[in-house]
Amino acid sequence: MALSPDLAGVGALPGLAARKRPAWAGFLSFLRHKPLGSFGLLLVALLVFTAVFADLLANHDPETVAVRDRLLGPGPVYYLGTDHYGRDTWSRIVYGARTSLYVGIFAVVFGTVVGSLVGLVSGYFGRTFDAVAQRIMDMIQAFPLLILAMTIVAALGTSVQNVVIALGIVITPSTNRVVRGTVLSVKENQYVEAARAIGCRHARIILVHILPNVLAPIIILASITLGLAILTEASLSFLGLGPPPPTPTWGSMLSGEGRDYFERQPWLAVWPGVAISLAVLGFNFFGDALRDVLDPRLRGSR
């Protein structure tokens, strides 16, 4: 006697349920279906590799001044030429990647953690804390990002740590808005109401029932914001408000006295500009693809 269609596959269900898709299969699927995201991931990987192994990749000290080698063109000794002080451009590009990644990562971590905490508490409890916290975020967000960062660095002083603090502060409101909006939606779900009904504490509800559901937006926003942080750090360095000399940064390579030599030696402007563009492009492409994968509302839309 033939089994009915509803019962024919019952014996196979446990085996199917036990099979889990391996992580590498999901990664290969991402590479295949998100070509721009894969390209962005490659650029990000190259940036991380360059920053981590800067000591091995650089063939000269990025801060050493060699007057006799001023404004040399690209060659076997100086791969990308030298600047007006005789410093190796390639070595400064390589160590500049370390500076940009350091500032970008720590600024995004700072801004994301603070913004997420404020958004979680504000969205969950609401009322007076929500009103006060959101008005403070409105005040911060009312200023243009670069202007506010310049003001904070000018007040605190030019250093790598102060640039991180300034960028973290200007990043905080955007993260807070996204997390708060998600929390307002998630806290109305039935499992949150059930947790309240059985007497769970607020901290447990936030950490166990709400936070896992807002992690995806946080990760997406952080990956995209990294590119913005690197670009803003380069802008501050270009304006003389970034890490102080002789720290090699991409923005500082485009500013100062070096600008007087751009017409004669165009590579002085080309290489730092290419480095900034590729870094920002990589994080933007990767973040956009990550959003398509992690956001359930966008799955299958592209």
pLDDT digits (tens, 9 = 90+) for 228-279: 999 999 999 888 888 888 888 898 888 876 677 777 788 888 899 999 999 9
Taking a C-beta distance cutoff of 8 angstroms, is the pair 202, 124 a contact?
Answer: yes
Q: Exposed e or buried b for every residue in 92-105, given b needs 16+ CB within 10 A? A: bbbbbbbbbbbbbb
Task: Check residues 176 and 265 and name the one with the higher pLDDT.
Answer: 176
Q: In whole angstroms, what is the distance from residue 96 CA to residue 102 CA?
A: 10
**Length of the chain as a residue count:** 302
pLDDT tens digits for 102-111? 999 999 999 9
pLDDT score for 219:
87
The mean per-residue pLDDT over the stretch 63-73 comes to 83
Q: Residue 115 contacts by C-beta under 8 Å, 6 or more apart in sequence?
A: 171, 172, 173, 174, 175, 176, 179
**Where residue 68 falls among pLDDT bands split at 50, 70, 90?**
confident
- On whether the CB atoms of residues 120 and 185 are closer than 8 A, the answer is no
The SS3 assignment for 266 reads coil
Phi, psi for residue 64 in degrees, rounded to 5: -75, 130
Question: What is the model's pLDDT at position 49?
Answer: 94
Say if CB 65 and CB 87 are below 8 A apart.
yes
The yes-or-no verdict on residue 158 having pLDDT over 90 is no
Residue 207 has which token pair? Answer: 């950490």
Q: 5: cis peptide before it, omega within 30°?
A: no
For position 15, what pLDDT does the model report? 46
pLDDT greater than 60 at residue 302: no
Given a cut of 90, is residue 24 above it in pLDDT? no
pLDDT tens readout for residues 271-300: 999 999 999 999 998 888 888 777 655 555
Q: Where are the alpha helices (DSSP H) in the chain?
A: 5-8, 13-18, 23-33, 35-52, 54-57, 89-125, 127-141, 145-156, 160-186, 190-197, 202-204, 211-238, 267-294
What is the distance between the alpha carbons of residues 110 and 130, in angstroms, rounded to a whole number? Answer: 21
Contact 117, 133 (CB under 8 A): no
Cβ within 8 Å of residue 223, ≥6 positions away = 283, 286, 287, 290
Closest CA to 242 of 140, 162, 151: 162
CATH superfamily of 50-185+214-294: MetI-like (1.10.3720.10)
Looking at the DSSP bridge assignments, the partners of residue 88 are 82
Which pLDDT belongs to residue 115? 93
Tokens of 273: 């500009």
